[in-house]
Protein backbone atom coordinates (compact mmCIF):
# COMPACT_ATOMS: atom_id res chain seq x y z
CA UNK A 1 0.00 0.00 0.00
CA UNK A 2 1.44 3.42 -0.90
CA UNK A 3 2.25 5.64 2.01
CA UNK A 4 -0.52 8.10 2.72
CA UNK A 5 0.58 11.74 2.66
CA UNK A 6 -0.91 14.54 4.71
CA UNK A 7 -0.44 18.23 4.06
CA UNK A 8 -0.89 20.31 7.21
CA UNK A 9 0.97 23.41 6.11
CA UNK A 10 -0.36 26.91 5.51
CA UNK A 11 0.20 26.39 1.80
CA UNK A 12 0.21 24.56 -0.41
CA UNK A 13 -2.89 22.97 1.05
CA UNK A 14 -4.85 19.79 0.27
CA UNK A 15 -6.81 19.90 -2.97
CA UNK A 16 -10.32 18.38 -3.13
CA UNK A 17 -10.81 15.44 -5.51
CA UNK A 18 -13.14 17.40 -7.80
CA UNK A 19 -10.41 19.98 -8.30
CA UNK A 20 -7.75 17.32 -8.90
CA UNK A 21 -10.05 15.68 -11.45
CA UNK A 22 -10.45 18.99 -13.26
CA UNK A 23 -6.66 19.20 -13.56
CA UNK A 24 -6.72 15.92 -15.46
CA UNK A 25 -9.04 17.18 -18.18
CA UNK A 26 -7.60 17.74 -21.67
CA UNK A 27 -5.67 21.00 -21.87
CA UNK A 28 -7.64 23.93 -23.28
CA UNK A 29 -6.27 26.49 -25.67
CA UNK A 30 -6.25 29.91 -24.06
CA UNK A 31 -7.78 31.64 -27.10
CA UNK A 32 -10.46 29.03 -27.70
CA UNK A 33 -14.14 29.40 -26.78
CA UNK A 34 -14.12 26.59 -24.18
CA UNK A 35 -11.46 28.33 -22.15
CA UNK A 36 -13.25 31.69 -22.54
CA UNK A 37 -16.30 30.32 -20.73
CA UNK A 38 -14.23 29.01 -17.81
CA UNK A 39 -12.03 32.11 -17.65
CA UNK A 40 -15.04 34.44 -17.48
CA UNK A 41 -16.73 32.39 -14.77
CA UNK A 42 -13.53 32.03 -12.77
CA UNK A 43 -12.86 35.80 -12.85
CA UNK A 44 -16.48 36.47 -11.78
CA UNK A 45 -16.19 33.95 -8.94
CA UNK A 46 -12.98 35.60 -7.82
CA UNK A 47 -14.84 38.92 -7.57
CA UNK A 48 -17.38 37.21 -5.32
CA UNK A 49 -14.70 35.73 -3.11
CA UNK A 50 -12.86 39.06 -2.92
CA UNK A 51 -16.19 40.81 -2.37
CA UNK A 52 -15.37 43.36 -5.01
CA UNK A 53 -16.67 44.82 -8.24
CA UNK A 54 -13.12 45.69 -9.20
CA UNK A 55 -11.07 43.63 -11.62
CA UNK A 56 -9.18 40.70 -10.16
CA UNK A 57 -6.06 40.43 -12.28
CA UNK A 58 -4.59 36.98 -12.76
CA UNK A 59 -0.96 36.12 -13.40
CA UNK A 60 0.59 32.70 -13.90
CA UNK A 61 3.01 32.85 -10.99
CA UNK A 62 3.05 32.38 -7.24
CA UNK A 63 1.44 34.83 -4.81
CA UNK A 64 4.58 36.93 -4.48
CA UNK A 65 4.11 38.05 -8.08
CA UNK A 66 0.74 39.56 -7.15
CA UNK A 67 2.52 41.44 -4.35
CA UNK A 68 5.28 42.51 -6.70
CA UNK A 69 2.73 43.73 -9.24
CA UNK A 70 1.63 46.38 -6.73
CA UNK A 71 5.16 47.66 -6.31
CA UNK A 72 5.92 47.43 -10.03
CA UNK A 73 2.85 49.50 -10.96
CA UNK A 74 2.73 51.98 -8.08
CA UNK A 75 6.09 51.86 -6.34
CA UNK A 76 8.42 54.10 -8.32
CA UNK A 77 8.84 57.45 -6.57
CA UNK A 78 6.07 56.70 -4.05
CA UNK A 79 6.17 57.34 -0.34
CA UNK A 80 5.21 54.01 1.16
CA UNK A 81 4.62 52.74 4.67
CA UNK A 82 4.85 49.02 5.41
CA UNK A 83 3.28 47.53 8.53
CA UNK A 84 5.70 44.70 9.24
CA UNK A 85 5.35 42.04 11.93
CA UNK A 86 6.89 38.93 10.41
CA UNK A 87 8.38 37.32 7.36
CA UNK A 88 5.70 38.51 4.94
CA UNK A 89 5.76 42.10 6.15
CA UNK A 90 9.47 41.93 5.42
CA UNK A 91 8.65 40.60 1.98
CA UNK A 92 6.74 43.82 1.22
CA UNK A 93 9.82 45.75 2.34
CA UNK A 94 12.10 43.70 0.11
CA UNK A 95 9.85 44.03 -2.91
CA UNK A 96 9.43 47.78 -2.50
CA UNK A 97 13.18 48.25 -2.18
CA UNK A 98 13.57 46.76 -5.67
CA UNK A 99 10.94 49.03 -7.20
CA UNK A 100 12.24 52.40 -6.11
CA UNK A 101 9.76 53.42 -3.40
CA UNK A 102 10.72 55.56 -0.45
CA UNK A 103 9.80 53.18 2.38
CA UNK A 104 9.04 53.76 6.03
CA UNK A 105 8.25 50.82 8.30
CA UNK A 106 5.93 50.47 11.28
CA UNK A 107 7.83 47.55 12.75
CA UNK A 108 6.68 45.03 15.33
CA UNK A 109 8.33 42.02 16.87
CA UNK A 110 7.42 38.82 15.04
CA UNK A 111 4.25 37.55 16.71
CA UNK A 112 2.90 40.96 17.71
CA UNK A 113 -0.45 42.14 16.38
CA UNK A 114 -0.31 45.45 14.46
CA UNK A 115 -2.45 48.27 15.81
CA UNK A 116 -4.33 50.87 13.80
CA UNK A 117 -3.40 53.56 16.36
CA UNK A 118 0.30 53.01 15.74
CA UNK A 119 -0.21 53.29 11.99
CA UNK A 120 -2.33 56.41 12.33
CA UNK A 121 0.33 58.02 14.55
CA UNK A 122 3.13 57.22 12.11
CA UNK A 123 1.15 58.49 9.14
CA UNK A 124 0.42 61.73 11.00
CA UNK A 125 4.13 62.11 11.82
CA UNK A 126 5.17 61.53 8.22
CA UNK A 127 2.59 63.99 6.92
CA UNK A 128 2.15 62.52 3.42
CA UNK A 129 2.07 58.89 2.37
CA UNK A 130 0.97 57.53 -0.98
CA UNK A 131 0.74 53.82 -0.19
CA UNK A 132 0.27 51.66 2.88
CA UNK A 133 1.16 47.95 2.78
CA UNK A 134 -0.52 45.48 5.11
CA UNK A 135 -0.44 41.74 5.71
CA UNK A 136 -3.77 40.21 6.65
CA UNK A 137 -2.54 36.80 7.77
CA UNK A 138 1.12 36.85 8.77
CA UNK A 139 1.72 33.18 8.01
CA UNK A 140 5.09 33.16 9.77
CA UNK A 141 3.50 33.91 13.15
CA UNK A 142 -0.18 32.98 12.90
CA UNK A 143 -1.32 36.54 13.60
CA UNK A 144 -4.32 37.77 11.62
CA UNK A 145 -4.37 41.55 11.62
CA UNK A 146 -7.47 43.72 11.80
CA UNK A 147 -7.20 44.91 8.21
CA UNK A 148 -10.45 46.84 8.38
CA UNK A 149 -9.20 49.24 11.06
CA UNK A 150 -5.66 49.42 9.68
CA UNK A 151 -7.05 50.24 6.24
CA UNK A 152 -9.33 52.89 7.74
CA UNK A 153 -6.29 54.58 9.32
CA UNK A 154 -4.49 54.52 5.97
CA UNK A 155 -7.51 55.88 4.09
CA UNK A 156 -7.94 58.66 6.63
CA UNK A 157 -4.39 59.73 5.78
CA UNK A 158 -5.22 59.71 2.06
CA UNK A 159 -3.10 56.67 1.16
CA UNK A 160 -3.93 53.80 -1.14
CA UNK A 161 -4.00 50.48 0.71
CA UNK A 162 -2.36 47.28 -0.48
CA UNK A 163 -3.00 44.03 1.37
CA UNK A 164 -1.23 40.69 1.27
CA UNK A 165 -4.14 38.26 1.61
CA UNK A 166 -2.19 35.32 0.21
CA UNK A 167 -2.93 32.98 3.10
CA UNK A 168 -6.22 34.52 4.20
CA UNK A 169 -8.46 35.02 1.16
CA UNK A 170 -11.30 32.53 1.47
CA UNK A 171 -10.47 31.66 5.10
CA UNK A 172 -10.89 34.95 6.95
CA UNK A 173 -13.39 37.77 6.26
CA UNK A 174 -12.03 40.23 3.74
CA UNK A 175 -14.18 42.99 2.24
CA UNK A 176 -12.23 44.50 -0.60
CA UNK A 177 -14.80 47.15 -1.53
CA UNK A 178 -16.45 47.81 1.83
CA UNK A 179 -13.07 48.35 3.50
CA UNK A 180 -11.75 50.46 0.60
CA UNK A 181 -8.81 48.20 -0.25
CA UNK A 182 -6.96 49.22 -3.41
CA UNK A 183 -4.79 46.22 -4.18
CA UNK A 184 -5.28 42.81 -2.64
CA UNK A 185 -2.79 40.08 -3.47
CA UNK A 186 -3.48 36.38 -3.17
CA UNK A 187 -2.57 33.01 -4.62
CA UNK A 188 -4.25 29.79 -5.68
CA UNK A 189 -2.57 27.39 -3.25
CA UNK A 190 -3.93 28.36 0.16
CA UNK A 191 -7.58 28.67 1.17
CA UNK A 192 -8.56 28.59 -2.50
CA UNK A 193 -7.83 24.83 -2.53
CA UNK A 194 -5.94 24.73 -5.84
CA UNK A 195 -2.32 23.81 -6.56
CA UNK A 196 0.28 26.59 -6.62
CA UNK A 197 0.68 28.61 -9.79
CA UNK A 198 -1.85 31.44 -10.01
CA UNK A 199 -1.26 34.90 -8.55
CA UNK A 200 -4.29 37.13 -8.06
CA UNK A 201 -4.55 40.83 -7.45
CA UNK A 202 -7.79 42.80 -7.04
CA UNK A 203 -7.10 46.36 -8.16
CA UNK A 204 -9.38 49.34 -7.46
CA UNK A 205 -10.19 52.12 -9.91
CA UNK A 206 -8.11 54.48 -7.80
CA UNK A 207 -5.12 52.17 -7.90
CA UNK A 208 -5.44 51.73 -11.66
CA UNK A 209 -5.67 55.50 -12.09
CA UNK A 210 -2.57 56.01 -9.96
CA UNK A 211 -0.73 53.35 -11.94
CA UNK A 212 -1.73 55.02 -15.21
CA UNK A 213 0.33 58.04 -14.18
CA UNK A 214 3.48 55.96 -13.76
CA UNK A 215 5.67 53.80 -15.92
CA UNK A 216 5.31 50.18 -14.97
CA UNK A 217 8.57 48.55 -13.98
CA UNK A 218 7.46 45.18 -15.24
CA UNK A 219 6.21 44.04 -18.61
CA UNK A 220 4.67 40.80 -17.37
CA UNK A 221 3.09 42.30 -14.24
CA UNK A 222 1.85 45.48 -15.91
CA UNK A 223 -1.70 45.97 -14.61
CA UNK A 224 -3.02 47.91 -17.62
CA UNK A 225 -1.88 45.23 -20.06
CA UNK A 226 -3.55 42.46 -18.10
CA UNK A 227 -6.68 44.43 -17.35
CA UNK A 228 -7.20 45.34 -20.99
CA UNK A 229 -6.72 41.75 -22.10
CA UNK A 230 -8.90 40.24 -19.37
CA UNK A 231 -11.72 42.62 -20.33
CA UNK A 232 -11.78 40.86 -23.72
CA UNK A 233 -11.29 37.45 -22.08
CA UNK A 234 -8.05 37.28 -23.97
CA UNK A 235 -5.17 36.79 -21.54
CA UNK A 236 -2.06 38.74 -22.55
CA UNK A 237 0.19 35.70 -22.16
CA UNK A 238 -0.50 31.97 -22.10
CA UNK A 239 -2.08 31.37 -18.71
CA UNK A 240 -1.81 28.04 -16.88
CA UNK A 241 -5.17 27.08 -18.40
CA UNK A 242 -5.47 23.82 -16.45
CA UNK A 243 -4.97 25.69 -13.19
CA UNK A 244 -7.68 28.16 -14.18
CA UNK A 245 -10.03 25.24 -14.87
CA UNK A 246 -9.16 23.81 -11.45
CA UNK A 247 -9.48 27.14 -9.64
CA UNK A 248 -12.90 27.64 -11.19
CA UNK A 249 -14.06 24.31 -9.71
CA UNK A 250 -12.50 25.12 -6.32
CA UNK A 251 -14.14 28.55 -6.20
CA UNK A 252 -17.46 26.91 -7.07
CA UNK A 253 -17.04 24.60 -4.05
CA UNK A 254 -16.17 27.52 -1.79
CA UNK A 255 -19.13 29.59 -2.95
CA UNK A 256 -21.45 26.58 -2.64
CA UNK A 257 -20.40 26.23 0.98
CA UNK A 258 -20.90 29.98 1.33
CA UNK A 259 -18.14 32.40 2.28
CA UNK A 260 -19.57 33.12 5.71
CA UNK A 261 -19.92 29.41 6.44
CA UNK A 262 -16.33 28.87 5.34
CA UNK A 263 -15.12 31.67 7.65
CA UNK A 264 -17.06 30.12 10.53
CA UNK A 265 -15.58 26.69 9.78
CA UNK A 266 -12.09 28.19 9.88
CA UNK A 267 -12.80 29.84 13.23
CA UNK A 268 -13.85 26.48 14.63
CA UNK A 269 -10.83 24.70 13.13
CA UNK A 270 -8.59 27.28 14.80
CA UNK A 271 -10.37 26.76 18.13
CA UNK A 272 -9.94 23.01 17.80
CA UNK A 273 -6.23 23.27 17.01
CA UNK A 274 -5.53 25.64 19.89
CA UNK A 275 -7.57 23.65 22.39
CA UNK A 276 -5.75 20.44 21.45
CA UNK A 277 -2.32 22.02 21.64
CA UNK A 278 -3.05 23.51 25.06
CA UNK A 279 -4.54 20.28 26.37
CA UNK A 280 -1.26 18.53 25.53
CA UNK A 281 0.49 21.09 27.71
CA UNK A 282 2.18 22.99 24.90
CA UNK A 283 2.41 26.75 24.63
CA UNK A 284 0.87 28.63 21.74
CA UNK A 285 3.01 31.11 19.84
CA UNK A 286 0.15 32.45 17.71
CA UNK A 287 -2.58 34.42 19.52
CA UNK A 288 -5.25 32.47 21.34
CA UNK A 289 -8.06 34.27 19.58
CA UNK A 290 -10.72 33.40 17.05
CA UNK A 291 -9.27 35.67 14.38
CA UNK A 292 -6.14 33.50 14.31
CA UNK A 293 -7.79 30.86 12.18
CA UNK A 294 -5.24 30.33 9.40
CA UNK A 295 -2.29 28.77 11.13
CA UNK A 296 -1.66 27.67 14.70
CA UNK A 297 1.94 28.26 15.72
CA UNK A 298 3.18 26.22 18.65
CA UNK A 299 6.30 26.61 20.79
CA UNK A 300 8.25 23.39 21.28
CA UNK A 301 9.13 22.37 24.84
CA UNK A 302 12.61 23.31 26.07
CA UNK A 303 15.36 21.13 24.71
CA UNK A 304 13.44 20.12 21.59
CA UNK A 305 14.07 21.46 18.11
CA UNK A 306 10.92 22.02 16.07
CA UNK A 307 12.87 20.79 13.03
CA UNK A 308 12.95 17.39 14.69
CA UNK A 309 9.19 17.48 15.24
CA UNK A 310 8.63 18.31 11.58
CA UNK A 311 11.08 15.61 10.53
CA UNK A 312 9.50 13.02 12.82
CA UNK A 313 6.05 13.77 11.46
CA UNK A 314 7.30 13.39 7.92
CA UNK A 315 9.33 10.23 8.32
CA UNK A 316 7.04 8.41 10.71
CA UNK A 317 3.63 9.42 9.38
CA UNK A 318 4.08 11.06 5.95
CA UNK A 319 2.79 14.35 7.36
CA UNK A 320 4.04 17.76 6.41
CA UNK A 321 3.87 20.62 8.90
CA UNK A 322 5.87 23.82 8.77
CA UNK A 323 8.90 24.74 10.84
CA UNK A 324 9.28 28.32 12.08
CA UNK A 325 10.70 30.84 9.62
CA UNK A 326 13.65 33.16 10.21
CA UNK A 327 14.71 33.36 13.85
CA UNK A 328 11.74 31.17 14.85
CA UNK A 329 13.22 28.19 12.99
CA UNK A 330 13.71 25.38 15.50
CA UNK A 331 11.53 27.15 18.08
CA UNK A 332 8.00 26.78 16.73
CA UNK A 333 6.10 24.52 14.38
CA UNK A 334 3.03 25.59 12.46
CA UNK A 335 -0.13 23.66 11.74
CA UNK A 336 -1.94 25.14 8.77
CA UNK A 337 -5.70 24.73 8.62
CA UNK A 338 -7.02 26.59 5.62
CA UNK A 339 -8.99 25.42 2.65
CA UNK A 340 -10.11 21.82 2.37
CA UNK A 341 -9.90 21.00 6.07
CA UNK A 342 -12.24 19.46 8.58
CA UNK A 343 -11.91 18.72 12.27
CA UNK A 344 -10.53 15.23 11.61
CA UNK A 345 -7.54 16.77 9.86
CA UNK A 346 -6.92 18.68 13.08
CA UNK A 347 -7.29 15.64 15.32
CA UNK A 348 -5.02 13.62 13.02
CA UNK A 349 -2.37 16.32 13.15
CA UNK A 350 -2.65 16.57 16.93
CA UNK A 351 -2.52 12.82 17.55
CA UNK A 352 0.60 12.47 15.43
CA UNK A 353 2.25 15.50 17.02
CA UNK A 354 1.67 13.97 20.43
CA UNK A 355 3.36 10.73 19.40
CA UNK A 356 6.33 12.45 17.80
CA UNK A 357 6.85 14.73 20.80
CA UNK A 358 6.73 11.71 23.10
CA UNK A 359 9.34 10.02 20.86
CA UNK A 360 11.54 13.06 21.32
CA UNK A 361 11.22 12.83 25.08
CA UNK A 362 8.87 15.75 25.64
CA UNK A 363 6.72 15.79 28.69
CA UNK A 364 3.31 16.00 27.00
CA UNK A 365 -0.07 15.02 28.34
CA UNK A 366 -1.12 12.00 26.28
CA UNK A 367 -4.59 11.16 25.03
CA UNK A 368 -6.37 14.43 25.75
CA UNK A 369 -5.68 16.63 22.72
CA UNK A 370 -8.09 14.91 20.37
CA UNK A 371 -11.00 15.15 22.78
CA UNK A 372 -10.25 18.79 23.57
CA UNK A 373 -10.13 19.57 19.85
CA UNK A 374 -13.42 17.82 19.13
CA UNK A 375 -15.10 19.64 22.02
CA UNK A 376 -13.73 23.01 20.91
CA UNK A 377 -14.85 22.42 17.34
CA UNK A 378 -18.40 21.78 18.54
CA UNK A 379 -18.38 24.70 20.94
CA UNK A 380 -20.21 27.84 19.84
CA UNK A 381 -18.11 30.11 21.99
CA UNK A 382 -14.39 30.83 22.01
CA UNK A 383 -12.47 28.43 24.20
CA UNK A 384 -10.32 30.27 26.74
N1 LIG B 1 2.29 36.19 1.78
C2 LIG B 1 1.86 35.30 2.68
C3 LIG B 1 1.10 35.79 3.86
C4 LIG B 1 2.12 33.94 2.50
O5 LIG B 1 1.69 33.04 3.39
C6 LIG B 1 2.83 33.53 1.36
C7 LIG B 1 3.16 32.06 1.12
N8 LIG B 1 3.56 31.38 2.24
C9 LIG B 1 3.27 34.50 0.46
C10 LIG B 1 2.97 35.81 0.70
C11 LIG B 1 4.07 34.15 -0.73
O12 LIG B 1 3.33 33.42 -1.62
P13 LIG B 1 4.04 32.52 -2.73
O14 LIG B 1 4.91 31.56 -2.01
O15 LIG B 1 2.87 31.90 -3.42
O16 LIG B 1 4.81 33.44 -3.61
pLDDT digit string (tens) for 20-51?
A: 999 999 999 999 999 999 999 999 999 999 99
Among 223, 257, 291, which residue terminates a domain? Answer: 257
CB of 168 within 6 A of ligand 1: the answer is no
pLDDT of residue 215: 87
- 341-378 pLDDT, tens per residue? 999 999 999 999 999 999 999 999 999 999 999 999 99
- 164-209 pLDDT, tens per residue? 999 999 999 999 999 999 999 999 999 999 999 999 999 999 999 9
Q: 384 pLDDT band (50/70/90 cuts)?
A: low
Burial class (CB in 10 A: 0-12, 13-18, 19+), 242: middle
In a domain, 121, yes or no: yes
Say whether both 242 and 283 belong to one domain. Answer: no
* Average of per-residue pLDDT across 3-32: 96
Q: List alpha helices for 25-62, DSSP H.
A: 33-50
Atom of ligand 1 nearest to the CA of 165: 3
Planar angle of CA 287, 137, 44, nearest 5 degrees: 145
CB of 188 within 6 A of ligand 1: the answer is no
Say whether both 50 and 154 belong to one domain. Answer: yes
- pTM of the shown model: 0.97
Atom of ligand 1 nearest to the CA of 187: 15
Say whether both 363 and 225 belong to one domain. Answer: no
Element (H or E) spanning 63, and its range? helix 63-74
CB of 336 within 6 A of ligand 1: the answer is no
Rounded distance from Cα 162 to ligand 1 centre (Å): 15
Instruction: Name the domain count of the chain.
Output: 2
Among 225, 257, 289, which residue terminates a domain? Answer: 257
Residues near 367 by beta carbon (within 8 Å), at least 6 away in sequence: 354
Say whether both 302 and 160 belong to one domain. Answer: no
- Strand 183-187 to 198-203 pairing: antiparallel
CB of 61 within 6 A of ligand 1: the answer is no
Contact yes or no for 160/181 (Cβ under 8 A):
no
Say whether both 250 and 266 belong to one domain. Answer: no
- CA separation for the pair 296, 153 (Å, rounded): 28
Say whether both 210 and 65 belong to one domain. Answer: yes
In a domain, 242, yes or no: yes
Say whether both 265 and 253 belong to one domain. Answer: no
In a domain, 325, yes or no: yes
Cα distances (Å, whole numbers) of residue 103 to 41, 133, 344 = 38, 10, 44
CB of 164 within 6 A of ligand 1: the answer is yes
- 75-133 pLDDT, tens per residue? 999 999 999 999 999 999 999 999 999 999 999 999 999 999 999 999 999 999 999 99
Q: 3 pLDDT band (50/70/90 cuts)?
A: confident
For a ligand 1 pocket test, name from 167, 195, 334 the mutation site with the most ligand atoms within 8 angstroms of its C-beta: 167
User: Of residues 19 and 216, which shows the higher confidence score?
Assistant: 19
Rounded distance from Cα 200 to ligand 1 centre (Å): 12
In a domain, 95, yes or no: yes
Say whether both 131 and 141 belong to one domain. Answer: yes
Amino acid sequence: MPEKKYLFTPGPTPVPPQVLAALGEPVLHHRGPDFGVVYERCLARLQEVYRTRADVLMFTASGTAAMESVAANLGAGSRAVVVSAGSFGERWEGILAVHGADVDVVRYEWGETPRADDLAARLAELGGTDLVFLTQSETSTGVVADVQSLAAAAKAAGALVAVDAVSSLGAVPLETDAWGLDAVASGSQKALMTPPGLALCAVSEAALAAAAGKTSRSYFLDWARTQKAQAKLDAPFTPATSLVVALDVALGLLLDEGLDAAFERHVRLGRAARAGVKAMGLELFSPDEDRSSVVTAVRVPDGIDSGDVVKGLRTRFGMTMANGQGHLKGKIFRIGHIGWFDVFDITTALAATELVLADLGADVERGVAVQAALDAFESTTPVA
